[in-house]
């Protein structure tokens, strides 16, 4: 083994000029792509602390110009922001938990080849990806179930995403062999016990991926709150940030100086809102990146 490692080390050290040029080209191209992806986010951060006049004049490129925290002050002075933050955390945690549990419970029977209703239920789930009832029938249905203007509409309406369901089905089929259930059934294990004690512990990777998918969707949820939540005390973060941004837009009334100052504040608030809404997701994502990358490759290589 040690001899092979030394031989491999020598081969990398004695690669040809063409291989070196290829590596240099790859690293340069990947570095440029990374710069193109990361710089807009970096610009939003520095712009949120800069003078709006400097931003509009194109003077902000790599460092904040005219350090200013007015945007963040206007955002956090609004008392609704903290209430909406707690609402969004509740919707994200409770909703994601319900999503993952229901998705895995639905995915397990659909991954069993001997399940008699496997094809009809799969076709039914796939049908909902392309055809939906529409906004008005859904609104009437939500109102009939007494879910309108309640926090539960935010966690129960998007209970199962069919795309995520398909990912979970493929993971269970490709990574948990049928022989495990045959061995467990010989010992008298039921499907429920097998699902809880065998399938779920072996599906941690896909459950982390589902948690990330569902969690980001709940955190960015906007439309359901706009349609089904009348009480401002139930609004999610995105809806409250939208109202703050609209309130600080220049109305066109008043003297010229006040309109200019209002436009400056709105410009800073626009960038600050982006940072406030995306920062928690950016902080959590690195801890889930390993499982996310592994989950994306599910089924791509079978060995």
- Within 13 Å of residue 127, how many CA atoms lie on the same side as its CB? 7
Predicted pLDDT of residue 295: 54
- Quote the CA–CA distance of 266 and 250 in Å, as a whole number: 8
Predicted pLDDT of residue 5: 47
Contact 238, 277 (CB under 8 A): yes
Cα distances from 163 to residues 6, 96, 176, 209, in angstroms, run 46, 15, 20, 12
- Quote the CA–CA distance of 92 and 211 in Å, as a whole number: 10
The CATH number of 71-296 is which of 3.40.50.300, 3.30.830.10, 1.10.730.10, 1.10.3720.10? 1.10.3720.10
Encoded tokens for 295: 């989950």
Q: What is the pTM of this model?
A: 0.76
Which residue in 72, 80, 94, 74 sits closest to 279, CA to CA?
72
Predicted pLDDT of residue 299: 46
Reading the chain (303 residues) residue by residue, the pLDDT tens digits are: 444 444 444 444 566 787 888 888 889 999 999 888 888 888 888 888 887 777 777 777 788 887 877 778 877 877 788 888 889 999 999 999 999 999 999 999 998 888 888 889 889 888 888 888 788 888 898 899 998 999 999 998 888 899 999 989 988 888 888 888 888 888 788 888 888 888 888 888 889 889 888 998 998 888 888 899 988 888 888 888 787 777 666 555 555 666 667 677 777 777 787 888 788 877 777 776 666 655 555 544 444
Cα distances from 250 to residues 44, 245, 247, 260, 264, in angstroms, run 21, 10, 8, 8, 9
Q: Is 159 helix (H, G, I), strand (E, B) or coil?
A: coil
Q: How far is CA 261 from the centre of its chain?
A: 35
- Quote the CA–CA distance of 1 and 272 in Å, as a whole number: 55
Q: What residue spans define the domains of the chain?
A: 2-68, 71-296
- Quote the CA–CA distance of 83 and 78 in Å, as a whole number: 10
Which residue in 71, 90, 36 sits closest to 275, CA to CA?
71
């Amino acid at each position: 083994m040690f001899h092979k490692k030394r031989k491999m080390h020598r081969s990398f050290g004695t690669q040809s000029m063409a291989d070196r040029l290829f590596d240099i080209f790859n690293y340069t191209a990947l570095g440029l792509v990374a710069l193109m992806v990361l710089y807009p986010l970096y610009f939003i951060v520095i712009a949120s602390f800069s003078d709006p006049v400097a931003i509009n004049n194109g003077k902000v490129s790599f460092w904040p110009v005219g350090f200013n925290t007015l945007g963040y002050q206007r955002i956090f002075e609004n008392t609704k922001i903290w209430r909406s933050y707690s609402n969004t955390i509740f919707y994200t945690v409770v909703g994601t938990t319900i999503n993952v549990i229901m998705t895995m419970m639905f995915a397990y029977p659909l991954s069993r080849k001997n399940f008699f209703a496997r094809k009809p239920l799969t076709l039914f789930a796939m049908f909902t990806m392309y055809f939906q009832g529409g906004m008005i029938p859904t609104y009437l249905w939500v109102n009939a179930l007494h879910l309108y203007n309640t926090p539960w509409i935010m966690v129960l309406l998007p209970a199962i995403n069919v795309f995520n369901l398909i990912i979970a089905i493929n993971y269970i089929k490709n990574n948990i062999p049928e022989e495990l259930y045959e061995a467990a059934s010989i010992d008298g294990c039921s499907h429920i016990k097998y699902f809880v004690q065998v399938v779920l512990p072996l599906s941690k990777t896909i459950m982390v991926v589902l948690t990330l998918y569902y969690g980001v969707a709940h955190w960015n949820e906007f439309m359901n709150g706009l349609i089904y939540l009348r009480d401002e005390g139930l609004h999610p973060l995105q809806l409250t940030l939208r109202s703050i941004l609209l309130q600080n837009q220049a109305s066109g009334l008043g003297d010229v100086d006040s309109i200019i100052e209002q436009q400056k504040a709105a410009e800073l608030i626009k960038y600050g809102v982006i940072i406030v809404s995306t920062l928690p997701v950016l902080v959590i994502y690195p801890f889930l990146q390993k499982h996310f990358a592994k989950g994306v490759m599910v089924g791509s290589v079978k060995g």
